[in-house]
Structure 1
Amino acid sequence: MTISLTRRVLLGASASLALLGTSAMAQDKIQLRLSSVSSETDQRSVAMTEVFGPAVSDFASFEPHWNGTLFGQGTELEAIASGDLEMSITSAQELATFFPEWSIFAAGYVLQDAEHQVAVFNDALMDPFKKTVEDELGVRLLAPMYLGRRQVNLRQSRAELDVKTPDDLSGVNLRMPGSDAWQFLGRALGANPTPMAFTEVYTALQTGAVDGQDNPLPTVVDAKFYEVTKQIALTSHLVDWNFIALSSEVYNSMTPEQQEAVTAAAVAAADSGRAAQLAKEEELVAFLQDKGLDVYEPDVAAFRSHVQEAYLGSEFAASWPEGTLEAINALGK
């Protein structure tokens, strides 16, 4: 009886120690909470959940929070800086609100395609930009994520309006977002930019209140703009991107092996999301053509030259470090 009781006590103690050991191991894992306004089905979200999370699971607990449920849009970087958040997916536009020189990476025709984005991010020209973000915000940028290319979508048929150069958009009322930066880009494209809430665009295209709008192809399809337009000129005037951002404090607390692993996981997730988004864009070209739209590529070189010249003569370029635009262009096609 005494032996049996002793065994039960010992077994119970062993089980408790095992449970405490498991709990301690779980607590030893690095907490990586990510806050993003993206939905769960967004290609970036899928890549982070299915690629990044499993790749770091040996040493980190990855906890994504989508749809802005943890921190609101525009507050994530400050949350990382204050130590209240570990990760986010940030944009060049958001970084430019802290550091004006970052506006170069949100300007029209600076980035040419998804491959160019990767080349620019990995080039030495980005080092001082990344360093400023890390030194002043405590945010380390791990990898670039591809968002897509904005195109010009018009209600006129190509027989009525064949867009080859910026001159062909003269007098075209093109709905674009209402900020000064977006309106400037519209004028630089050669159009007459018209600010309008996104929810009003479908009806405006239907009635002719505007001649067209600019957005990536997934947006054209999701908003069903193909029902009230007849053509898409693949101007690719803004190749938009995001960055996987990690707290520098958290990164510096990792071992060299963990730092290498978290960076490799971010790159792998970015690569996966990029491939999925590019494939989706290709599929949508065929979809839109099947819907009767004329989808074609104008003289992109003429557009790029015209838009970059407009930027260089504007206040937007005042904060751009000398020679940076030329260095970015040299990495392109």
Structure 2
Amino acid sequence: MLHRTIFGAMTSAFVALAMTGAAVSAELRYAHVGAEGDIQTIYAAEAAKGIAAATSGGVTVTVYPASQLGGVAEMVDGVRMGSIQMGHHDFASLARLVPEVAVFNAPFIYQDGEHALKATDPATSPALQAINEKLVAQGVRIIGRIYRGDRQISSNFPVKSPADLAGKPFRAVPLELWVSMVKGFGAIPTPVEVAELPTALMTGVVVGQENPLTMIASNNLNEVQSHIAMTGHMRAVLAVFVNEEIWQDLTGEQRTAITKVLDDEARKSLKMAQEGEAKLVEQLKGRGMTIITEADGLDRAAFREKVGTQIARDFPNFTPLIEQIQAVK
């Protein structure tokens, strides 16, 4: 029996004879930055349970949420080096390894949530498969995805068009794609890690941010923000990724079982996001937030136009990839 235990930055193995032949067991550390109650946090916890069951305990997963193992950059580096075996975050978090992977987080490119899941399926998406080959060469492989819901703008004043954000400091996820998008909003991109976001909003370092409603609610941003503009500028899909060496150490049967669990959980996350949005709108209204929709004068077309122009200017190589993604049926 081949037994591999993985923890921290150390990997050890030993071989013992068994009449039944070779089997592999692994303990994986899974890191992410999501807070309690967020869809991504529920996904990771359920995936860990499902993987253990699907592999008959051969692969066990310990989840470290809420940036316990560091921020986004530390998590990506940890997975690449193998000190962290699994993680998830926006596709663009891997852009330091392969820049074009950020295209899967580009604003306004998916028709709906179902289309977003199809276009980011590692088993069937041509665009993702091509990019995954480049990621594997860097030691990381995307093996799943999570649907968190549409990303909306929150602020401490009404926002109905990019003109309302002109010249104002607005939180950007510390990734180039988000910086470009926030420029398209008309605002001044100000990188802030998610763990520091409530304080940055409270102190005025930034006057607004954008995230799915699940994150806004679970992080109690209603305590430091008064308005939500339902821009739906991004279908928030996160990449689930693994250290490639660790992945290849598993058996083919284990890899197949894990990817099936992750795919099943992805579909559950989509359903959860779709069913939860209407409830979250009412919940956040109950907490005192004002919700702004197109019926209230929100100009989504202006956001789409200005953000699209900015992304095309900053990422001209995205254009053929976006066309390929939009062609997915």
* TM-score when normalising by structure 2: 0.73
1:40–1:66 Cα contact (<8 Å) kept: no
- Does residue 1:33 correspond to 2:33, yes or no? no
Cα displacement (A) at 1:93: 2.4
**For the structure 1 residues 224 and 142, does the alpha-carbon distance in structure 2 shift closer, same or farther, using more than 3 Å as the test?**
closer
Which residue number corresponds to residue 154 of structure 1? 155
**For the structure 1 residues 238 and 54, does the alpha-carbon distance in structure 2 shift closer, same or farther, using more than 3 Å as the test?**
same
1:148–1:277 Cα contact (<8 Å) kept: yes
The Cα RMSD (Å) is: 3.7
Partner Cα separation in structure 1 for residue 89 and residue 138 of structure 2:
13
Partner Cα separation in structure 2 for residue 312 and residue 178 of structure 1:
19
Q: Which whole-Å deviations, capped at 9, do the CAs of 1:291-318 have from their partners, x for residues lacking one?
A: 343322434344223311211122xx14
Which residue number corresponds to residue 173 of structure 1? 168
Question: Partner of 1:147: helix, strand, or coil?
Answer: strand
**For the structure 1 residues 288 and 172, does the alpha-carbon distance in structure 2 shift closer, same or farther, using more than 3 Å as the test?**
farther
Question: Partner of 2:120: helix, strand, or coil?
Answer: helix
Partner Cα separation in structure 2 for residue 187 and residue 71 of structure 1:
27
Which residue number corresponds to residue 126 of structure 2? 124
Partner Cα separation in structure 1 for residue 165 and residue 70 of structure 2:
42
2:117–2:147 Cα contact (<8 Å) kept: no
Cα displacement (A) at 1:189: 1.7
* TM-score when normalising by structure 1: 0.72
Question: Is the helix fraction higher in 1 or 2?
Answer: 1
Higher alpha-carbon Rg:
1
Q: Pick from 51, 61, 64 the counterpart of residue 62 of structure 2.
A: 64
Q: Which whole-Å deviations, capped at 9, do the CAs of 1:271-328 have from their partners, x for residues lacking one?
A: 23343344443321111223343322434344223311211122xx1453x5111222
Partner Cα separation in structure 1 for residue 179 and residue 35 of structure 2:
31
Question: Is the strand fraction higher in 1 or 2?
Answer: 2
Q: Which whole-Å deviations, capped at 9, do the CAs of 1:29-71 have from their partners, x for residues lacking one?
A: 421403303468422322223333322225x221314145567
**For the structure 1 residues 64 and 39, does the alpha-carbon distance in structure 2 shift closer, same or farther, using more than 3 Å as the test?**
farther
1:151–1:235 Cα contact (<8 Å) kept: yes
1:154–1:211 Cα contact (<8 Å) kept: yes
**For the structure 1 residues 43 and 285, does the alpha-carbon distance in structure 2 shift closer, same or farther, using more than 3 Å as the test?**
same
Cα displacement (A) at 1:151: 1.4
Question: Partner of 1:240: helix, strand, or coil?
Answer: strand
Q: Which whole-Å deviations, capped at 9, do the CAs of 1:242-270 have from their partners, x for residues lacking one?
A: 22223444444555444322221121222
Partner Cα separation in structure 1 for residue 284 and residue 70 of structure 2:
36
1:151–1:215 Cα contact (<8 Å) kept: yes
- Does residue 1:291 correspond to 2:287, yes or no? yes
Within-5 A mapping of 1:253-292: 253-292=249-288
Within-5 A mapping of 1:245-256: 245-256=241-252
1:35–1:87 Cα contact (<8 Å) kept: yes
Structure 1 gaps of 5+ residues are: 1-20
Question: Partner of 1:310: helix, strand, or coil?
Answer: helix
Identity level (%): 22
Question: Partner of 2:73: helix, strand, or coil?
Answer: coil
Within-5 A mapping of 1:78-227: 78-82=77-81, 84=83, 86-111=85-110, 113-122=112-121, 123-134=125-136, 136-156=137-157, 163=160, 165-166=161-162, 168-169=163-164, 171=166, 173=168, 175-177=170-172, 179=174, 181=176, 182-193=178-189, 198=197, 199-204=199-204, 212-227=208-223
Q: Which whole-Å deviations, capped at 9, do the CAs of 1:158-196 have from their partners, x for residues lacking one?
A: xxx6x1x43x43537352137473443222023455667
- Does residue 1:303 correspond to 2:300, yes or no? no
